[in-house]
């Protein structure tokens, strides 16, 4: 009996100690920061990468992953890692309006993403250029399709021999599981207000009229992509169209065909940009990936994954977020 009492007492002391440690950590935490996280404040994060002249700053803006406003990332208690479109757009707006920034370095590692998101980024990059700031782009492992679209306005584009870029084009795609449904005895009753209301339905073949109409949408968006590249690279439309059959290019080939200016990694692009702006500029990383943590530094995302099965849940989430479907995409997969 004495051993049981001693064991129970020891367990109680451990639980009490853990509870006290947890409350102490909560008390010691920065309550203002925690409130901002829980309230969902969506201000772009920033950190100084290199000290220097605060009146002559270079902003490093990261484009990591699929460029798409999925609504699953961002700030707030349950924020997850990944590309955050609203935060990135706000960062670009802030840079354009802030005269202490002299230049921007785009750090691009992306297969592209949504047509809308890519066009919105391009709009604010052009505002940055119009404000007199220099833009360089450094392509990482991949800067294809929309990843190239956002790089096109840059004054200089850097890539390595290993970089995959290009894939200039637009894609829309849907499934057609009519035959599968027939095999398992499933039929569909559709009531619609117009002939094209269920266009791209997976339960039937597309009509010739629908195919022509959807192709016209793709062609219009493709023309926009062509114009962005032609304007950004100083090429004619004919030159761009010769390169824009959707194929990818390695960095060295992209230098030869004019899509990329120089060979180099992120550090090479940053050093060249510092030389371009002159002086001793301060380098600031602004925007990018947002994550949220428990007071002990354990990410909420990781905690959820440990409970729900982790890899499988993350894989399904990525498949949902990166789906194409009816949405037109500047995306290479």
pTM above 0.95, yes or no: no
Cα–Cα distance between 163 and 172 in angstroms, integer? 25
Catalytic residue, from 9, 197, 236, 306: name it: 197
**Which residue blocks in the chain are alpha helix, DSSP H?**
2-28, 31-39, 85-97, 115-130, 146-151, 178-183, 208-233, 237-243, 251-257, 266-277, 300-308, 311-321
Is 197 one of the annotated active-site residues of the chain?
yes
Is 2 one of the annotated active-site residues of the chain?
no
- What residues in the chain have per-residue pLDDT under 70? 1-42, 71-81, 287-326
- Encode pLDDT of 85-117 as tens digits: 999 999 999 999 999 999 999 999 999 999 999
Instruction: Give phi and psi for 233, each to the nearest 5.
Output: -100, 0
| Domains, the chain | 29-168+236-331 (3.90.226.10)
Cα–Cα distance between 267 and 300 in angstroms, integer? 32
- Encode pLDDT of 297-323 as tens digits: 444 455 445 545 555 555 545 544 444
Instruction: Give, in order, the Cα–Cα distances in Å from 178 to each of 206, 212, 281.
Output: 11, 21, 60
Pairing of the two strands 262-263 and 164-166: unpaired
**Would you call 146 helix, strand, or coil by DSSP?**
helix
Residue identified by tokens 């840079």 is: 95
Catalytic residue, from 137, 138, 145, 151: name it: 145
Enclosing H/E stretch for 63: strand 53-64
């Amino acid at each position: 009996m004495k051993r049981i009492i001693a064991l129970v007492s020891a367990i109680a002391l451990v639980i009490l100690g853990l509870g006290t440690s947890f409350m102490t950590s909560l008390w010691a935490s920065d309550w203002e920061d925690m409130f901002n996280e829980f309230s969902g404040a969506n201000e772009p994060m920033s950190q100084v990468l290199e000290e220097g002249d605060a009146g002559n700053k270079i902003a490093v803006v990261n484009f990591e992953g699929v460029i798409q406003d999925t609504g699953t990332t961002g700030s707030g208690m349950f924020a997850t890692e990944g590309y955050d479109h609203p935060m990135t757009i706000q960062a670009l707006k802030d840079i354009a309006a802030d005269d202490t920034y002299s230049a921007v370095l785009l750090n691009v590692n992306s297969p592209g993403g949504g047509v809308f998101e890519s066009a919105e980024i391009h709009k604010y990059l052009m505002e940055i250029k119009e404000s007199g700031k220099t833009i360089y782009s450094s392509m990482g492992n991949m800067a294809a399709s929309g990843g190239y679209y956002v790089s096109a306005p840059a004054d200089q584009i850097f890539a390595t021999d290993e970089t995959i870029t290009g894939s200039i084009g637009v894609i829309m795609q849907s499934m057609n599981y009519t035959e599968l449904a027939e095999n398992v005895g499933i039929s569909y009753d559709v009531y619609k207000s117009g002939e094209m209301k269920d266009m791209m339905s997976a339960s039937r073949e597309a009509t010739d009229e629908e195919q022509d109409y959807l192709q016209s949408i793709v062609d219009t968006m493709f023309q926009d992509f062509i114009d962005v590249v032609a304007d950004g690279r100083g090429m004619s439309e004919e030159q761009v169209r010769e390169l824009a059959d959707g194929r990818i290019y390695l960095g060295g080939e992209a230098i030869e065909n004019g899509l990329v200016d120089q060979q180099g990694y992120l550090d090479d692009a940053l050093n060249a940009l510092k030389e371009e702006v002159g002086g001793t500029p301060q380098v600031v990383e602004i925007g990018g990936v947002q994550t949220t943590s428990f007071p002990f530094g354990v990410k909420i995302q990781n905690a959820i994954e440990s409970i729900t099965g982790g890899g499988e849940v993350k894989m399904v989430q990525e498949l949902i977020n990166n789906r194409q479907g009816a949405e037109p995409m500047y995306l290479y997969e």
